[in-house]
Amino acid sequence: MIYPKIPLAQTVIQLCKAKGIQHIVISPGSRNAPLTIGFTNDSYFTCYSIVDERCAAFFALGIAQQINKSTAVVCTSGSALLNYYPAVAEAFYSNIPLVVLSADRPKHLIGIGDGQTINQKNVFENHILYSANLKLDLKDEKNIPGNEALPMMKNLEDKLERLLGLQKDIQTFNEEAINTAINFSNLKKGPVHINIPFDEPLYDMVDKLIVSPKATTPVIKEKTIENHVILECLEDWNAASKKMILVGTNQPHTIDEKWLDELIEDDSVIVFTETTSNLHDKSFFPSIDQIIAPLSEEEKKQLQPDILLTFGGLIVSKKIKQLLRKYQPKQHWHIDEKEANDTFFCLSNHIETTPNTFFEAFLPKITHYVKSDFKANWTAVKQKRLLKHKEYSKQVPFSDFKVFDKIFKAIPNQYILQIGNSSAIRYSQLFSINKTLDVFCNRGTSGIDGSTSTAIGCAVANTKPTIFVTGDLSFLYDSNALWNNYIPVNFRIIVINNQGGGIFRILPGHKNTENFSTYFETNHNLSARHLSEMHGFEYATISNEVDLETTLQSFFAKSTAPKLLEIFTPKNFNDEALIDYFKFIS
């Protein structure tokens, strides 16, 4: 087998292998050549070449999102690393295990005007679980005693660091740092950064390993819930007649059905689920804004719970956030192993475990259900809303609203549904989603910048077919995502093109002015047609309801290439259709 000659590169590659990091996303470069040589010459790794670093990082994030295991991205030195930042931030807030491997210049070449060089140390410090800054191995370092470059080093401290390894063997230091970083990513589920300095020559290879690094396994202490915590929760729970469970972003198939079955038996409990919660039951309340938007202030106060129990990731619905901040629950409990966001400014209890572990310890101890009409009253409201929703959906003219309604009804069973940010994810909150679909959206930072790349990474990592539904600005912003040689033929994209940022027409502001059109809505006349043709997608376009019905029927049929469907909607009517919807269902 071929290996890079540099011991540090061998160390990184072997420890990635020992830690089970199999998917390696590489952006071409020279400084990262030792890593590229090692990863691509070892059949254990599945390697991908993605030129655009921002797309590469989101592509890797999409893989990690699906396999729930650390996935690595590899880049050269300089600004290449900064292009990873949006995906690093998304991974940080979405708890996705991403390992960033950045090649760097040696320390003595940083800050002297050398090319393709920036300060890479701790560059992600506000959005990273752990940063490992590795050291050059003296065995392969030119700048050792007697070398003419030694006097060029900036100060005595640099010289001593090279000669003494900061009083620690450099190989041991590097092994510990790499082990710690990858362990953090695997266990705490988030991004880590390993910065790796390489000196030239970068392309030398050997046929035998020079180093044999040791992989360390952390001691995992299982978190248990102390009995007094359960008893305190039980006392408050049994005394409360209005309890609300709110579920944010949640991985599919992670909550045991038996606990959900128990919760829905309690008449004092209502369960609000977002589209990204991946939880379904006919007694749940899946379209939160549909329930809340038409409520009067008095009705909102009636919805105010005694106890709010939350789990899962960040919440999409602004309306539920506004309601619970104004009419705060007496107690807010959040279940999560890592952290609890005080989203509603009334967090009272962080239960540091998984939902399954908590429910297993808690629910069997409930001996009686408190008498309450909380669930019955709001179920009646839900039924009225659903009837009005169906009525409006039939009569609304062709618009974004109509298009999303038709799309979600047309997606076949057992698909993965990736949804773009901004309008797309918000519209999805209004419609029933097929319970056989696994739903994902980049809601950690809620940015539009990498949704397409993430969806493609997801499609590559999964045997299920993937459909990505997005708006035009999000798609165009991340159009380099299609510059990718790994897109499966069963991958589908639907772009709802309303010629700009349609969501801004819904928000308060002065519409139909030049300032608004240019700087907020960002009007354009662009199409995805030529991008589709350039990147080998089958392309279709429609702009009316009749064609939408017929095209969707064939869109999901088998093909020899991935497909993109672009749907043009009337930008000056979409906001009216949505505003009228909320008036109608009230």
Question: Tens of pLDDT along 1-46?
Answer: 899 999 999 999 999 999 999 999 999 999 999 999 999 999 999 9
* Residues paired with 196 in a beta bridge: 103
Whether residue 89 is predicted with pLDDT greater than 80 in this model: the reply is yes
Helices (H), 255-366: 257-263, 288-292, 297-303, 318-326, 355-362
| 565 neighbors 493 (Cβ within 8 angstroms) | yes
Do the domains 227-379 and 396-585 sit in the same CATH topology, yes or no?
Answer: yes
Residue 220's pLDDT is what? Answer: 80
pLDDT confidence of residue 224: 81
Whether the per-residue pLDDT at 175 is higher than 90: the answer is yes
Angle of CA points 167, 32, 477, to nearest 5°: 125
Q: Edge to edge, what strands does the sheet with 416-419 contain?
A: 438-440, 416-419, 466-471, 492-497, 563-568, 538-542
The residues facing 493 across adjacent strands are 468, 564
Domain 3-202 fold: Rossmann fold (3.40.50)
Which segment, 116-120, 214-218, 277-281, is predicted with the most confidence on average?
277-281
What is the model's pLDDT at position 222?
74
Taking the C-alpha atoms of residue 430 and residue 375, their distance in angstroms, rounded to an integer, is 20
* pLDDT 10s digits, 468-524: 999 999 999 999 999 999 999 999 999 999 987 656 556 555 566 666 666 666 788
pLDDT at 97 over 70: yes
How far is residue 127's CA from residue 159's CA, in Å, rounded to a whole number? 32
pTM of the shown model:
0.92
pLDDT for res 508: 57
- Amino acid code (one letter) for 489: V
- What's the mean pLDDT in 305-310? 98
Q: Are 544 and 403 in contact (CB under 8 A)?
A: no
State the Cα torsion 103-69-475-396 to the nearest 10°: -160
Residue 370 pLDDT > 70 = yes
Q: What percent of the chain has pLDDT over 90?
A: 83
* DSSP β-bridge partners for residue 220: none
Cβ(437)–Cβ(411) under 8 Å? yes
Domain ranges of the chain: 3-202, 227-379, 396-585
Q: Tell me what the mean pLDDT of segment 451-462 comes to.
A: 97
Mean pLDDT score across all residues of the chain: 92
Cα angle for residues 421, 422, 423 (degrees, 5° grid)? 115
AA identity, residue 470: T
Q: Give the mean pLDDT of 155-173.
A: 64
Residue 334: strand pairing partners = 310, 350
For the domain covering 396-585, report its CATH number. Answer: 3.40.50.970
- Render pLDDT for 207-255 as a digit per residue (tens, 0 to 9): 999 999 999 988 887 778 889 999 999 999 999 999 999 999 999 999 9
Q: Model confidence over 43-78: pLDDT tens digits?
A: 999 999 999 999 999 999 999 999 999 999 999 999
pLDDT at 154 over 80: no
By CB neighbour count within 10 A (0-12 exposed, 13-18 middle, 19+ buried), where does 446 fall? middle
Is residue 71 within 8 Å of 186, Cβ to Cβ? no
Pairing of strands 3-4, 205-206: antiparallel
Residue 145 reports pLDDT greater than 50:
no
Rounded to whole angstroms, the Cα distance separating 406 from 415 reads 16
Query: Would you place residue 283 in the very low, low, confident or very high pLDDT band (cuts 50, 70, 90)?
Result: very high
Roughly how many angstroms between the first and final C-alpha of the chain, as a whole number? 69
Assign domain 227-379 to its CATH superfamily: TPP-binding domain (3.40.50.1220)
Contacts of 148 by beta carbon, 8 Å cutoff, 6+ apart: none
Chain centroid to Cα 504, Å, comes to: 23
